[in-house]
Structure 1
Amino acid sequence: MAKTRVFYDTEFLEDGKSIELISIGMVRESDGKELYLVNRDMPVKRIRKHPWLNKHVWPSLPRVPDEVRMTLGDRLNYAHPAVQPRAEIAARVRRFITDTPDPQLWAWYGAYDHVALAWLFGPMSDLPNGIPMWTNDIRQEAERLGNPQLPEQPRGEHNALEDARHNMVRARFLDQYAQRTT
């Protein structure tokens, strides 16, 4: 049976002691099904104080409409359907992966992404059955193939779903590149 690739990306806050999930995006290659979730329980104040996350990740998250921002400030839109408690994110991610026949996880520089994903369920020993114990790395595959020039991401960089979609573009490009060069 062939593996079914699931491309994903996470945005997270890490401080050398922990990794706090901000958002996760997933795309299943076989049917194009997507999942995008934002952590309702994330430490918003710490993220807003982090210069890089505030500049690059915060703008990609569902935020309150402009008219509300003018009154209340720039806040996460807790009413947006993608904004969910961490436990619900874990349940949906688990279901998305385990509903995939013979899943194979893929990410760009995927080591931290895998830890952020695994920590949804607690320590690595609590990773649910059906969820792979590792993530394949698209960046490593590009290195193995001699670092060909990859397609640029046209929009949405640092939005977890847009990044997951682009991970699939990168992987498919590398698949074709490998076929041409062998």
Structure 2
Amino acid sequence: MTRYFYDTEFLEDGSTIELISIGIVAEDGREYYAVNAEMPMDRIRKHDWLVRNVLPHLPLTSRTSLDKYLGNPPNSFPRPPIDFVGLDRATTCVKPRQVIANEVRDFLLAGVSKPELWAWYGAYDHVVLCQLWGRMIDLPKGVPMWTNDLRQEVHRLGDPQPPEQLGGEHNALEDARHLKAMHQYLQHIREVLDTDT
């Protein structure tokens, strides 16, 4: 069994969930990061929270107009235009969704018989992950149909204060790295609790 800690950034509008980026860190130290070349950038540019929290971590063109936008308070109007902010498609992490699906499958199943997935408030992350392949029943053989939730594990262990993330929040790979560190911390808490009983 190999544990994988992952995070996705996505656009969720009440009807659909669209992948923006995915970061995965294996317990053995391997890492994977990709940005969806097919993300609906026009819709994302209209979403103030995504513009402020997710876009700055992506490889972009016209970063100057994004910086001007970020210089204004959240949800202020009129908003500076960011129509020309787009993905830098020359960056190797920017890939078509189908390529991401194939690479994620290969990454999760590389020499592993039973991958174990972990995320933070992972319900939406799991849906985004599964939708890489279409319907849930289309998951590649060996990819788990569920994700373990680190938030639930924190609750189960009595709500210990997990370590804070020191930077890169909402960068999917940085978030996944932090999830691995949180899991290691929670393993230590479990060991202490087991020794005390």
Shorter-chain TM-score category? Answer: over 0.9
Tell me the distance in 1 between the aligned counterparts of 2:64 and 2:16. 35
CA change 1:51–1:38 in 2 (3 A) is same
Residue of structure 2 equivalent to 1:26: 24
Indicate yes or no: 2:153 matched with 1:156: no
Structure 1 residue 128 corresponds to structure 2 residue 128:
no
TM-score w.r.t. length of structure 2: 0.86
TM-superposition CA deviations, 1:45-85 (whole Å, max 9, x none) = 11111011111001011113758989x94321111000000
Structure 1: which 5+ runs fail to align?
Answer: none
Given candidates 168, 176, 181, the residue that maps to 2:180 is: 168
Gaps of 5+ in 2: 68-82
**Alpha-carbon distance in structure 2 between the residues aligned to 1:17 and 1:84:** 24
Separation (CA, whole Å) in 2 of partners of 1:164 and 1:155: 12
| Greater Cα shift, 59-68 or 163-172 | 59-68
Over 3 Å counting, the alpha-carbon distance change for 1:120 and 1:76 in structure 2 is: same
Q: Which residue of 2 aligns with 1:96?
A: 107
What is the number of residues matched between the two proteins?
178
Match of 2:150 among 138, 161, 172: 138
Cα distance in structure 1, aligned partners of 2:176 and 2:162: 15
Structure 1 CA distance for aligned equivalents of residues 164 and 107 of structure 2: 27
Q: Deviations over 1:95-128 (max 9, x none)?
A: 0111151210000111000000000000101011
